[in-house]
């Protein structure tokens, strides 16, 4: 019976724990047991600390029995991407170079989860330092897609997406630099939201590309996504780039359902205007997979039925987003990853190299970083080098400005933009590992959102003929997460109920 708990939403679990139907410890045990029994064949988690998780759950229960005020995540387990530091729990970013690193502090988002009574369940798998779109770049192990054992879960937050999809956690944190929350959410059939840049503190979120990184919630449905965003969003004095913008109660705003006439409207009574960027529906060899195109077309029709005006629009600089992104992201990454020099944490350089500082750096980094990390450090170092800086970094910054203006212009006409999250429903493990350029193209529909600092969400929209999930991406103006979530919620409510992947829907005994 207790294992059925793992199919409940976070809101349901919280309410059940808060009203004493079930204890937080029982909930935590149910998820820990399920992970223990089933994650061997999935690989969603890199590190578990069941004792610490149960201790937090028991503390939540104690709080309730003492009659104290209960948090918004009271007793709810949360899986945390291993890109986010957790006090006392090894945090490796999926990299060998951080093996054994036990942070002395919690990230702001982890602090917030704990303050609201949430339980950190474990650390989820990812592409090393979030460099990848398939989770295949993990320095430790691959992670599968619960919908197909031969397919990738997407990335880089592949472990978080797979964990939510497989019922290992009702909520998960991911990080999204170029699509790393939305794309795996799409591929695993869950909801993932990339907040506005500055909406969520990055303090304790290990940096990949600091000007693009955002931590975002992943969950089985839109309401749970809104709940987790409400908890983690807001100004944090420890992150100078976090914004001092009021955080609405995102869950409460979902209540504004379609009106009496069945149509939903914006607050001022206008119909919701949704723009569909034509650049996001490329045709030809590098275009969308037909199943994706048809599923998203149906999704747009559902939005129209819900009362939105859906119209084609243009984000003309979209073709330049991928090259600009891969210059800026790798440039920042090359600097952000300089601190992994083996002197303070992670494995020490080999004894033989210790007489020469440079050898020590080189050997430790050569051994500790995987191929994709090395590729990006080399690219980024090159892009920032004297004589190339203007041609690459400065030019890419200009492109970023143009892309931002594209979005600003589109949002003068539209309340939201809609597009597929990923050009493909999924790809097979190993299919693209030797083809990094095609792998980079997987981010084509998500990267511009990061470059423009705007929020985006991926919400399940259907399935390919092979049974792989396909996500609809909605994009809103900066700090309009409430609008984004409200639209996604209406879309979700008008569709079929949440589906669990076949083979992962049984209740283990």
Q: What are the strands, taking DSSP E only, across 158-270?
A: 171-176, 191-194, 214-219
The residue whose two tokens read 């409510």 is 493
Contact by Cβ (8 Å): 447, 179: yes
Within residues 315-334, the interface with another protein by CB under 8 A covers 331-332, 334
Helices (H), 148-221: 158-165, 182-188
Say which of 180, 201, 242, 464 is annotated catalytic.
Answer: 180
357 binds another protein (CB under 8 A): yes
User: For residues 28 and 107, which CB has a smaller minimum distance to another protein in the complex?
Assistant: 107
Residue 180 designated active-site: yes
CB count, 10 Å around CB of 118?
28
Dihedral class, residue 176 (left if φ above 0, else alpha if ψ from -120 to 50, else beta): beta
104 binds another protein (CB under 8 A): yes
Q: What is the largest CA-CA distance in the chain?
A: 77
The DSSP string of 439-461 is HHHTTTTTHHHHHTT--EEEEEE
458: which residues sit within 8 A by CB, 6+ positions away? 181, 182, 183, 185, 186, 191, 192, 193, 421, 471, 472, 473
Segment interacting with another protein, rule: CB under 8 A, options 48-56, 100-108, 145-153, 156-164: 100-108
107 binds another protein (CB under 8 A): yes
Residue of the chain from 13, 57, 206, 227 that contacts another protein (CB under 8 A): 206
Say which of 9, 23, 24, 81 is annotated catalytic.
Answer: 81
90 binds another protein (CB under 8 A): no
End-to-end CA distance of the chain: 8
User: For residues 126 and 331, which CB has a smaller minimum distance to another protein in the complex?
Assistant: 331
Residue of the chain from 88, 270, 389, 438 that contacts another protein (CB under 8 A): 389
Segment interacting with another protein, rule: CB under 8 A, options 202-210, 367-375, 400-408, 460-468: 202-210
Residue of the chain from 385, 435, 467, 502 that contacts another protein (CB under 8 A): 385
DSSP 342: S
176 binds another protein (CB under 8 A): no
CA–CA gap between residue 418 and residue 424 (Å, rounded): 16
User: For residues 382 and 500, which CB has a smaller minimum distance to another protein in the complex?
Assistant: 382
Residue of the chain from 30, 78, 181, 209 that contacts another protein (CB under 8 A): 209
Within residues 402-431, the interface with another protein by CB under 8 A covers none
Q: Which residues bind another protein (CB under 8 A)?
A: 84-85, 91, 93, 98, 101, 103-105, 107, 202-207, 209-211, 237-241, 331-332, 334-335, 337-339, 341, 343-345, 357, 361, 381, 384-386, 389, 393
Active site residues: 81, 156, 180
């Amino acid at each position: 019976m207790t294992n059925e708990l793992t199919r409940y939403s976070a809101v349901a679990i919280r309410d059940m724990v808060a009203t004493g139907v079930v204890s937080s410890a029982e909930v935590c045990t149910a998820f820990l047991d399920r992970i223990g029994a089933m994650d061997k064949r999935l690989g969603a988690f890199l590190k578990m600390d069941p004792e610490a998780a149960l201790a937090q759950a028991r503390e939540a229960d104690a709080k309730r029995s003492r009659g104290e005020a209960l948090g918004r995540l009271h007793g709810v387990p949360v899986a945390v991407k291993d890109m986010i530091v957790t006090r006392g729990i090894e945090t490796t970013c999926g990299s060998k170079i951080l093996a054994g690193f036990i942070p002395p502090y919690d990230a702001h988002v982890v602090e917030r989860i704990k303050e609201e009574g949430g339980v950190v369940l474990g650390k989820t798998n990812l592409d090393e330092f979030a460099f990848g779109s398939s989770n295949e770049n993990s320095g430790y192990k691959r992670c599968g897609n619960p919908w197909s054992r031969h397919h990738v879960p997407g990335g880089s937050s592949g472990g978080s997406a797979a964990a939510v999809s497989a019922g290992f956690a009702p909520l998960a944190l991911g990080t999204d630099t170029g699509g790393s929350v939305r794309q795996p959410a799409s591929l695993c059939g869950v909801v993932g939201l990339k907040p506005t840049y500055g909406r969520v503190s990055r303090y304790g979120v290990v940096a990949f590309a600091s000007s693009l990184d955002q931590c975002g919630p992943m969950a089985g449905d839109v309401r749970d996504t809104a709940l987790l965003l409400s908890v983690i969003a807001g100004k944090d004095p420890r992150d100078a780039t976090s914004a001092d913008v009021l955080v609405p109660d995102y869950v409460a705003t979902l209540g504004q359902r379609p009106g009496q006439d069945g149509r939903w409207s914006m607050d001022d009574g206008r119909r919701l205007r949704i723009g569909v960027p034509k650049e996001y529906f490329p045709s030809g060899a590098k275009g969308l997979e037909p199943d994706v195109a048809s599923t998203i077309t149906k999704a747009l029709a559902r939005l129209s039925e819900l009362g939105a005006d859906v119209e084609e629009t243009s984000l003309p600089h979209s073709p330049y987003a991928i090259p600009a992104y891969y210059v800026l992201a790798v440039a920042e990454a090359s600097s952000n990853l300089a601190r992994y020099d083996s002197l303070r944490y992670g494995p020490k350089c080999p004894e033989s190299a210790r007489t020469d500082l440079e050898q020590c750096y080189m050997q430790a980094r050569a051994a500790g970083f995987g191929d994709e990390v090395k590729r990006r450090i080399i690219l980024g170092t090159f892009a920032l080098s004297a004589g190339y800086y203007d041609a690459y970094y400065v030019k890419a910054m200009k492109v970023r400005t143009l892309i931002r203006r594209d979005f600003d212009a589109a949002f003068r006409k539209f309340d939201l933009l809609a597009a597929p999250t990923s050009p493909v429903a999924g790809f097979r493990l190993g299919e693209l590992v030797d083809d990094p350029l095609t792998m980079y193209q997987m981010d084509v529909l998500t990267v511009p959102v990061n470059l423009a600092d705007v929020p985006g969400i991926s919400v399940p929209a259907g399935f390919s003929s092979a049974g792989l999930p396909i996500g609809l991406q909605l994009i809103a103006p900066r700090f309009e997460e409430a609008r984004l979530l409200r639209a996604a919620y209406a879309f979700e409510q008008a569709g079929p109920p949440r589906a669990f992947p076949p083979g992962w829907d049984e209740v283990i005994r």
